Amino acid sequence: MGFTEKQEALVKESWEVMKQNIPEFSLRFFTLIIEIAPAAKNLFSFLKDSNEVPKNNPRLKAHAVKVFKMTCESAIQLREKGEVVVADTTLKYLGSVHVQKGVIDPHFEVVKEALLRTVKEAIGEKWNEEMNGAWGEAYDQLAAAIKAEMKEEL
Ligand code: HEM
Ligand code: ISQ
């Protein structure tokens, strides 16, 4: 599947904007996941002993940022190589973490929706459908790689 320079640029530019406010958008991203799929709450250790999303959890923040960075990296690879290649060890690790936590395929749509909505809110007026499509495609390809690795695990 082709990915254009324009699409890559849209993802990179919007990520640069989002980076200015990591505490806010990482919290928003996580909150949206829980809003869209309240049951997914129980998968995450951040919420083990509370009903509220912790406002200042460094691990939550770091993981949320990683999801965005990896999606952004996927956009770059899609344009350069036409496919997403995740380092083998990273992919194996992420595959096993997600299997162990009980993540299943439909959850990936939830995270996608939350990710796209987070981008939209963060970007504001400069947001557009093409940007949305570029993030969506980069995410889908990355998710496909992780899902395939999860199936290997089972
Ligand atoms: C953990 C990335 C999809 C649920 C993680 C970690 C990363 C990550 C980097 C941290 C691993 C570590 O260092 O321990 C991604 C990416 C995804 C994705 C790039 C999609 C492209 C999902 C989905 C779910 C999910 C669909 C289900 C709602 C979790 C959970 C953890 C986790 C429960 C463990 C967090 C904890 O409690 O410590 N993910 N993830 N992830 N992910 Fe994902
Ligand atoms: C881990 N995997 C997917 C999405 C996430 C969002 C916030 C924190 C951690 C995550």
Judged by its nearest atom, the ligand closest to the C-alpha of residue 67 is: 1
Asked if residue 139 lies in contact with residue 112, where contact means CB atoms within 8 angstroms, the answer is yes
Between CA 86 and CA 143 the distance in angstroms is: 11
With 0-12 CB in 10 A as exposed, 13-18 as middle and 19+ as buried, what is 11? buried
Q: What is the pLDDT of residue 10?
A: 97
Between CA 82 and CA 93 the distance in angstroms is: 24
Q: What is the pLDDT of residue 93?
A: 96
**Entry pTM:** 0.96
DSSP symbols for 51-65: SS--TT-HHHHHHHH
Between CA 131 and CA 69 the distance in angstroms is: 16
* pLDDT in single tens digits along all 154 residues of the chain: 579 999 999 999 999 999 999 999 999 999 999 999 998 888 998 886 677 888 888 999 999 999 999 999 999 999 999 999 999 999 999 999 999 999 999 999 999 999 999 999 999 999 999 999 999 999 999 999 999 999 998 7
- Amino acid making up residue 152: E
Tokens of 133: 């499509």
DSSP letter (8 states) at residue 82? S
Cα→Cα distances 59→37, 55, 86, 99, Å: 21, 11, 22, 19
Q: ipTM of this predicted complex?
A: 0.97
DSSP symbols for 27-89: HHHHHHHHHH-GGGGGG-GGGTT-SS--TT-HHHHHHHHHHHHHHHHHHHHHHHHSS----HH
Judged by its nearest atom, the ligand closest to the C-alpha of residue 108 is: 1
Q: Is 115 in the pocket of ligand 2 (CB under 6 A)?
A: no
With 0-12 CB in 10 A as exposed, 13-18 as middle and 19+ as buried, what is 39? exposed
Ligand 1: residues with CB < 6 A are 40, 43-46, 63, 66-67, 70, 94, 97-98, 101, 103, 107-108, 110-111, 139, 142-143, 146
